[in-house]
Each structure stands twice: as structure tokens, then as C-alpha cells.
């Protein structure tokens, strides 16, 4: 049981770091766009990095936040069909879904890793940093997804969709 607690603690630390990084990048994204818009419209001044930096940050924020949302259960999911099945079938569907998801994100990580390597010599025009540093956010986020999927696979009593949960409402309830 102690190992389970240490493992959960490790997943929690990774989650908090990803959440903090996504929030920090989001704040930087908002600040950079605000500075660029203010400089352009009020001072007739444009910064070269004002277009490149938000693109860079947006990619990182999007994928990190998606992994964080997946871990805390706020990412999009459709459960109303699964909830119609008996508990044992829901249990099987849950694990099949996790295994397919794990395969999917690892496949994306692999191919995006290859794309990132191919972009390592290409640089942003103004910022003069490798575009690979931007694209690497996708495989990093895929590995976070994979880690959080593995966490769910190791969970002893997973939360399954309950009977009738998330079903389409009938006409009378509207």
C-alpha cells in the first residue's frame, strides 16, 4: 500500500508541475499579446517577436492544458452509451479504452518526435530559436497523457460511468 501512495504522490507532482507550466505559459501568452497590441495601436510600434512568441506559447499551453484536463477528469468524454452497459462490461470498456488511448498517444508522440527532430535546424525568423523547441511540446504532452493513462490503469477502483449517467434527456425533462 505504501508503494501505491508513493506512486500517487509522484503522479500528483507531475500533474502539479504540468499545471503550473501551462498556467505560466498562458500568463506569458496573454502578456505578450497585450504588449504587442498595446504597442501597435497606441504607440505605432511593432515588436518582431510579437507574432512568433504567442504561436510558440499557444502550442505549449494547448497541449499541456489538455493533458492536465485529462488527468483531473475535465477533458471531453462521452459516457452515455457506456453507461447503458452492465457494470462488468463498463469495466472492460474502461480498460480497453485506456489501452487504445495509450497506444494512440504513444503513436502520436513517436511521429511528432520524428517531426520535431526534422525541424531542429529550422528557426523562428525573429526569435532565432529552433522551431523544434516549439514542436517538442506535443510529444512532451503525449508522454504526460501516457503517464496519466498509466496512472488510471494502476488505479484499483476506477470511477466508471454509472447507470443512466450522462444520458440524453428525454422530452419530459426538458
User: What residues contact 64, with CB distance under 8 A and at least 6 apart?
Assistant: 18, 21, 22, 25, 137, 140, 141, 144
Would you state the pLDDT for residue 141?
Answer: 94
DSSP string across 66-100: HHHHHHTT-S----TTGGGS-HHHHHHHHHHHHHH
For 60-88, the pLDDT digits (tens) are: 999 999 999 998 887 777 777 777 888 88
The pLDDT of residue 73 is: 80
For residue range 152-170, what is the model confidence (pLDDT) as tens digits? 898 877 777 664 454 444 4
Average pLDDT of span 23-27? 95
Q: Measured between alpha carbons, how far is 61 from 24 in angstroms, rounded to an integer?
A: 9
Q: Are 112 and 135 in contact (CB under 8 A)?
A: yes
pLDDT at 174: 47
On average, the pLDDT of the chain sits at 84
Q: How far is CA 69 from the centre of its chain?
A: 6
Residues in the chain: 174
Structure confidence at residue 167 (pLDDT): 45
C-beta separation of 142 from 109 below 8 A: yes
What integer is the mean pLDDT of 97-118?
94
Residue 130: pLDDT band with limits 50, 70, 90: confident
* Res. 131: pLDDT tops 60: yes
Q: CA 62, CA 72: separation in Å to the nearest integer?
A: 16
Name the least confident of 80-89, 98-107, 128-137: 80-89
Amino acid at each position: 500500500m505504501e508503494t501505491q501512495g508513493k506512486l500517487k504522490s509522484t503522479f500528483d507532482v507531475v500533474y502539479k508541475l504540468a499545471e503550473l507550466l501551462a498556467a505560466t505559459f498562458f500568463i506569458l501568452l496573454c502578456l505578450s499579446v497585450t504588449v504587442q497590441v498595446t504597442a501597435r495601436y497606441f504607440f505605432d510600434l511593432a515588436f518582431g517577436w510579437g507574432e512568433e512568441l504567442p504561436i510558440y506559447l499557444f502550442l505549449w499551453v494547448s497541449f499541456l492544458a489538455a493533458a492536465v484536463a485529462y488527468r483531473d477528469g475535465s477533458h471531453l468524454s462521452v459516457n452515455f452509451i457506456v453507461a447503458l452497459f452492465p457494470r462488468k462490461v463498463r469495466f472492460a470498456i474502461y480498460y480497453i479504452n485506456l489501452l487504445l488511448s495509450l497506444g494512440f498517444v504513444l503513436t502520436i508522440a513517436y511521429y511528432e518526435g520524428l517531426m520535431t527532430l526534422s525541424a531542429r535546424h529550422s528557426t523562428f525568423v525573429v526569435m532565432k530559436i529552433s522551431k523544434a523547441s516549439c514542436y517538442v511540446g506535443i510529444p512532451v504532452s503525449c508522454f504526460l497523457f501516457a503517464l496519466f493513462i498509466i496512472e488510471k490503469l494502476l488505479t484499483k477502483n476506477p470511477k466508471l460511468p454509472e447507470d443512466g449517467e450522462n444520458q440524453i434527456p428525454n422530452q419530459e425533462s426538458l
